[in-house]
Structure 1
Amino acid sequence: MSRLAACEACRKAKLACDHQLPVCTRCSANKGICIYRTTPFKRKRVEKQNLGSPDEPPSFNPRRNPYPNPGYLGSSSHAAIFKHITPDGDHGHGSHQTVPEDLHSDLFGDNHLVLQGADILKHLLTTYKLSAMKDLVMFWLAKGANLALAEPFVDQCAQSVSQLFTYHDDNWHLVYARRLLQNSAQPLHFSDTSDLAAFSAQFLDHNSRWETLGIFFAAVSRATTDIAFFPSLYTTEQEQYTLRRLCTKLCDFALEISLSLDCLNDLQLIMQYENFIVHSYVDGDQSYHSWRKLGDAISSTFALGYHENIEIKTGLPPFLKELRKTAFARIYSADKNIAIFLGRPPRMNKRFCHFQVPSCRNAEEGSAEWTLDAEAGYRADTRWSALCASLKEEIWELLQDKHDPSCAQRASVIQCQAETQWQHLPAHFRLESSLKKCTQGPFERDFVAGVRLHHLHVLFLLRLLLLKSPTEPDLPIIETAGQMLTLVVEIILLRDQLTNSGTGLIWKVAYYGLPAAGIMLLAMLKQHMPRAHRTRSLQDLSVFVAEVQIGTIVKAGDPNYALLSKATRTIQRFLDSTHSDPSLSEVAGVEGNDEWALLSQDLWDFEAGFWQSLADHPSLLAIEPSLPPI
């Protein structure tokens, strides 16, 4: 009888191994990855391996899939035509879930990526304790925060990853990288009777994949943005930043390795979205990297066919239908919001999609209605943000037909839809008073504030659309902008009492606060603001500027610092003029002042271009700020 080798976990622990394949009994009970060496009794030669060289690959050699995975193929494709000839195959919906049978025995993918990913994994886990990173994520989750789309899996992934790496020899990272790759190449199986636990078991514990690591390290990166001090990992901003960048880098490699296998699935799409969100925090909302990451997630949504009606698909368990609708809705709303923020065309058009949102908790499966006892949560945030994004897309289309005689009438219809949507919300979701009077918990307070901002932003964009020029704000847009600005300032002041319910503080400040501040500033400069609004607006603008200048919400080196600092310098210059001599602010209101034509006429441009042209306006050039530039 041939001698059998123990798995690495049992060998290192010097315990008896029962040699079960693919997982021994002891590893199965401990939920760790069970690894058997290919040549366990062969003496290792002592030689130093250059892990940084792509010419010296590790002991595994994955290769690319020679048969490209077509993913979803629609009605105009060749597959749709041939389906009428060979109707027994569903070429449009199943191909992205499986790996070709003749390739199951051989791994494929990008070997260089896997090598780099293994090196980053080794560097990260030899620099920081994995148990401490797990503790950070669990502490973050205990505060009520989570990853918005990967929410059902974050806790499980954290528990699973923390138990994976049970031994460390010279090449442990390469051995684990190979096993993770093998697992990532496996399709995710499900039937209409599957539940979330059975689905999750396919990528947890000894089935852990690169996607599992990607979700975990995305959570670590996000946790570092919300938790400023965690002594077992970081005590300074530089240490915090270093850990965040390393986790983001490993999350990037985990995603790229998974995608290189050319077998798209639900888990990869979830990781793509969360990776995009991580980059929006790390690189900023104006970063090309973030923009490209969102584009990749949109491409995968279409390739998976999730832009079609998910509710009528057969063979899907209810939880997976909701998960896919949630993925579509979050990616759809992100596309609209980022497009508006950057002034670029949206990439997901409702005309080519079946618009769908997840059901709210306590509602019947597939229900499009809110329930009276609906709970605040990431799914509810997804529903509401997507409903508002749908209206924003219609407003965007109206912008292209601004001179159409029917534009005002169509805008009126959208406004009625927005007001109806607001009234259909559960009463406890509608913030009708000051946020300070809200007695709910930190997550719920942030949630209702975000719900209100979404609604006000739709009304703001509608009224901005109907202006002849952004330099001529009327009373309706002044009132809406004033409500937006007041709420953003309240969020800034109460930030320590809020938990991220879908969007972070900096995004709320940049996306909602800056356009609102811009309109209020223009209204005061042009003397269009009623006195009843002026005092409150000056107070809000003063707080807004002060909080940015003292560095409580953004610091030099932060991704969105340049945008916010440029805007606040301009606002500060105006505030200084009103404090020193209120009559100075009336200069801009003189009739016939053609110099306002210098301002950008792009209705959607409240980024750096708007603030730069406003700062360069002659009415403000002569005013020196009393505070030093930040």
Structure 2
Amino acid sequence: MPSWSSSKVKEGAEILSLLADLPKYEPVLNQWFKVQCMTATVVYLRECIALIPPDLKESHSSSNFLATLSHKVFLRTNTPRSLDANISLREHASFLMGEDICWELVVLMLTAMGMSAISMDEVNLYDDSDSQIDWKDLAHQLLRAGDQCIDFCEQVGHLNNTGVTLILMNFILHTQVYGDADYHCWRKLEDLATALYALGFHQEPKPELPLCLSESYRTVFWRAYMADKNFATFFGRPPMINGKFCSCKMPLDLEDGQLALGDESVSRALSGLDHEGWNLNSVVGRATWLRVSVIESKFTEEILELSLGADTDDLVGRARYDNQKNQI
């Protein structure tokens, strides 16, 4: 087991202190939650935030308390966790939080706070001194803290499914803070692609997994896939995620929040889908647009293969040939 130095524990304590301000930013988080298409992740984050130790939410948390908690979080992060196949989304959050939270969940919460801060168009909250909050500066601070947490997780040497979600969100926040053209964003995308392949997100989730988690994993994969194709298109670089090696299906066309409901409600929701996973209610929701975007990205990958491939002669002929293959 890695030996955590006092300096690392101190760094962790400083990061945990950022969560003490969470109650102040909850209105902004709730506003951000409403516009997210990663519904299962939002529900999951809500549950995680609700399970934050009460003492940590207190702004007067002592340095000794934070240092002790930081040490426990390091120990918890270093302990691999097995997952019950019948667990619900809310139970999964409770399972991972447990008595002490791990750094993966700290990153998720800090990144969610950062993404909500960067999305603020105008300042409408104030701190205790009645001075306006600099949301951009706050997003930078939270991003740096999130990067530190990811470094903590990498030192442990094992990656879990929650870790893949946090890498995706960390990548998105990097693009929002530094812009897509920043080299670090390209590196973050590479880390994301590597994590997806390492954990098997490019394949269909195991059938014994609960639907809420399967759909969450599918959403994470296809969000990463679409981001990869967008970067490849805008920068003229080869994509990192090759769809030819991916068997993961599109997320189902379910309404927001349905995946977090009980088994009976989920069964009713599934009965309202056709054999391809589209809803039969003529309702165009976020999941619908996500599925449309996935299809568009698949076409984009074919175009990228033609335009960025080594053989760029007779593109029209190659396009016709590929079209004929798809029709077979």
| Distance across 1 between alignment mates of 2:319 and 2:32 | 47
How much has 1:235 moved relative to structure 2? 5.8
| Distance across 2 between alignment mates of 1:161 and 1:331 | 28
| Distance across 2 between alignment mates of 1:181 and 1:226 | 31
Instruction: Report the residue type matching 1:372 in the other structure.
Output: L
Partner residue of 1:232 out of 115, 123, 126:
126
Partner residue of 1:262 out of 157, 167, 170:
157
Deviations 1:393-445 (A, max 9, x none): 1111112244236234247669x99xxxxxxxxxxxxxxxxxxxxxxxxxxxx
Residue 211 in structure 1 maps to residue 101 in structure 2: no
Q: Secondary structure at the match of 1:161?
A: coil
Matches within 5 A, 1:365-404: 368-373=276-281, 375-399=283-307, 400=309, 401-404=311-314
Aligned twin of 2:204? 309
Structure 1 residues 188 and 170: alpha-carbon distance in aligned structure 2, compared to 1, 3 A threshold: closer
How much has 1:328 moved relative to structure 2? 1.5
Structure 1 residues 410 and 308: alpha-carbon distance in aligned structure 2, compared to 1, 3 A threshold: same
Aligned twin of 1:157? 48
8 Å CA contact retained: 2:125, 2:132: no
| Distance across 1 between alignment mates of 2:79 and 2:181 | 36
| Distance across 2 between alignment mates of 1:375 and 1:155 | 25
| Distance across 2 between alignment mates of 1:194 and 1:222 | 28
Aligned twin of 1:136? 28
Aligned twin of 2:259? none
| Distance across 1 between alignment mates of 2:181 and 2:270 | 37
| Distance across 2 between alignment mates of 1:222 and 1:289 | 17
TM-score norm. by structure 2 comes to 0.80
Residue 246 in structure 1 maps to residue 138 in structure 2: no
| Distance across 2 between alignment mates of 1:253 and 1:367 | 44
Matches within 5 A, 1:11-160: 63=2, 113-122=8-17, 124=18, 129-141=21-33, 144-146=34-36, 148=38, 150-160=41-51
Structure 1 residues 389 and 114: alpha-carbon distance in aligned structure 2, compared to 1, 3 A threshold: farther
TM-score norm. by structure 1 comes to 0.44
Structure 1 residues 248 and 298: alpha-carbon distance in aligned structure 2, compared to 1, 3 A threshold: same
8 Å CA contact retained: 1:395, 1:411: no
How much has 1:353 moved relative to structure 2? 2.1
Partner residue of 2:180 out of 266, 285, 290:
285
| Distance across 1 between alignment mates of 2:140 and 2:14 | 15
Matches within 5 A, 1:598-613: none
Task: Please say which of residues 370-379 and 313-322 is displaced more in the overlay.
Answer: 370-379
Deviations 1:147-167 (A, max 9, x none): 737223122233233735156
Aligned twin of 1:353? 246
How much has 1:194 moved relative to structure 2? 2.2
Structure 1 residues 225 and 169: alpha-carbon distance in aligned structure 2, compared to 1, 3 A threshold: closer
How much has 1:134 moved relative to structure 2? 2.7
Aligned twin of 2:266? none
Instruction: Report the residue type matching 2:41 in the other structure.
Output: A
8 Å CA contact retained: 2:111, 2:143: yes
| Distance across 2 between alignment mates of 1:111 and 1:306 | 36
Structure 1 residues 358 and 393: alpha-carbon distance in aligned structure 2, compared to 1, 3 A threshold: same
Instruction: Report the residue type matching 1:282 in the other structure.
Output: V
8 Å CA contact retained: 1:190, 1:316: no
Instruction: Report the residue type matching 1:151 in the other structure.
Output: V
Instruction: Report the residue type matching 2:196 in the other structure.
Output: T
Q: Secondary structure at the match of 1:181?
A: helix
Aligned twin of 1:458? none
8 Å CA contact retained: 1:210, 1:258: yes
Instruction: Report the residue type matching 1:407 in the other structure.
Output: R
Instruction: Extract unaligned runs of 5+ from structure 2.
Output: 255-268
How much has 1:343 moved relative to structure 2? 1.3
Higher alpha-carbon Rg: 1
| Distance across 2 between alignment mates of 1:120 and 1:407 | 53
8 Å CA contact retained: 1:109, 1:257: no
Aligned twin of 1:176? 69
How much has 1:349 moved relative to structure 2? 0.9
Aligned residue pairs: how many? Answer: 303
| Distance across 1 between alignment mates of 2:245 and 2:11 | 38
Instruction: Report the residue type matching 2:277 in the other structure.
Output: E
How much has 1:203 moved relative to structure 2? 2.4
8 Å CA contact retained: 2:196, 2:202: yes
Q: Secondary structure at the match of 2:218?
A: helix
How much has 1:273 moved relative to structure 2? 0.4
Q: Secondary structure at the match of 1:315?
A: coil
| Distance across 2 between alignment mates of 1:376 and 1:113 | 48
How much has 1:300 moved relative to structure 2? 0.7
Deviations 1:592-626 (A, max 9, x none): xxxxxxxxxxxxxxxxxxxxxxxxxxxxxxxxxxx
Aligned twin of 1:596? none
Aligned twin of 1:627? none
Instruction: Extract unaligned runs of 5+ from structure 1.
Output: 1-61, 64-107, 418-630
Q: Which has the higher helix share?
A: 2
Deviations 1:365-403 (A, max 9, x none): 995331232655544343222221111111111122442
| Distance across 2 between alignment mates of 1:147 and 1:184 | 28
| Distance across 2 between alignment mates of 1:322 and 1:284 | 29
Deviations 1:546-566 (A, max 9, x none): xxxxxxxxxxxxxxxxxxxxx
How much has 1:280 moved relative to structure 2? 0.7
Structure 1 residues 392 and 413: alpha-carbon distance in aligned structure 2, compared to 1, 3 A threshold: farther
Q: Secondary structure at the match of 2:68?
A: helix
8 Å CA contact retained: 2:76, 2:100: yes
8 Å CA contact retained: 1:201, 1:207: no
8 Å CA contact retained: 1:161, 1:212: no
How much has 1:113 moved relative to structure 2? 4.9
Q: Secondary structure at the match of 1:406?
A: helix
| Distance across 1 between alignment mates of 2:22 and 2:89 | 26
Instruction: Report the residue type matching 2:153 in the other structure.
Output: S
